[in-house]
Amino acid sequence: MSAAEAPGRPAAGSGGESPPPVLTLTMNPTVDICCDIDHLVAIGKTRAQVRYVAAGGGGINVARGVARFGGRATAVHTAGQEIGQRLNRLLDEEGIDHLAFRITGETREAFVLFETESRRSYHIVPRGPRLDDDEARYCLDLLERAAGAHRYVVASGSLPGGLRDDFYTAVARRVRRAGSRLLLDTSGPALRESLHEAVFLRRCNRSEASYLVGRAVHTFDDARTVNEQLLAAGAAEIAITTLGELGALCSTGQGHMELHAPPLPGEPLSDAGAGDGMIAAIVTRLAEGDDPVDACALGVAAAAASMLTPGTEPCDREVAESLRPAVRINRLAG
């Protein structure tokens, strides 16, 4: 399923093979252009070596990660104009199953610069196109028709201009109506507005969690406060707050689990793909029948492994699985 679609018209099926268990949604995808440079200069030209060009954006990165972990996923995404056509070609060439929803605005390009002298990464991301009300409605219709064939739906990433802040609330309702489970990973007003609708799993990083509670989130105790609020409000069955180098807190109605991040076997290069790598590992293992805590433990290992790769490159599966035994799990009392 790869050709760009007319608004509101789903792509044809992919044949006799059963649909993948995971569907991902990316409303504001990118074409990621990742380059190596010696160092940035203020005057004159900075010479660059292109490392790779790939389709990107939250849900697309998750679909790629699911494949890395041995699962199968279909990516639903917008695609507009010339860059949107390039996005589709890149996904086709990579072999990622996808459903493109054609929009009138142009898909954005993002740039990842890895400075070899400082070993730092810079992720430069434009805002992207604006969608109108008809495009938003058609995309929701396409998502609902597609979601019923998949056990899990992952909505990840920012929203493009023109969409209401409660767009992911509408996504949650459509996914539930289709009989699927939604994993949501977003930020800002879209995150706050989405709390009005229950989802299966929510992931927040420290910045997003701080935004929700109005104060800094640094520790596992801080994360517990956030997760308890999400569970008490009925906003999630599983709440995960990530704490960077500390790890993550995974909370359900049965209690809270601290998952301490493993020591890195190398120098951290970038955290740009850590969240998507985590969600990819979690949803892959959930689809295989693992319980949420075990799935989240691999997610923490995947996030750590992602930091060993520059830019938005997905983590190495073997590295993530080798780090999993070092993820220390501590069940909290009460």
Catalytic (active-site) positions: 276
**DSSP code of residue 272:** T
Residue length, the chain? 334
Helix (H) / strand (E) element for 111: namely strand 108-115
Give the tokens for residue 243: 């704490």
Give the tokens for residue 69: 């972990």
Q: What angle do CA 263, 264, 269 make, to 5 degrees?
A: 145
How many Å apart are CA 327 and CA 334, to the nearest integer?
Answer: 22
Q: Are strands 152-156 and 22-26 parallel, antiparallel or unpaired?
A: parallel
Q: Is residue 251 within 8 Å of 224, Cβ to Cβ?
A: yes
DSSP character string of 184-199: EE--HHHHHHHTTS-E
How many Å apart are CA 1 and CA 232, to the nearest integer?
Answer: 40
Q: What angle do CA 168, 173, 179 make, to 5 degrees?
A: 125
Rounded to 5 degrees, what are φ and ψ at 146?
Answer: -80, -35
Q: Is residue 242 within 8 Å of 275, Cβ to Cβ?
A: yes
Q: Is residue 103 within 8 Å of 88, Cβ to Cβ?
A: no
Q: Is the dihedral of CA 21, 260, 313, 127 positive or negative?
A: positive
How many CB atoms neighbour CB 118 within 10 A?
A: 11
How many Å apart are CA 284 and CA 299, to the nearest integer?
Answer: 10
Q: What is the dihedral of CA 84, 89, 93, 95, to 10 degrees?
A: 60
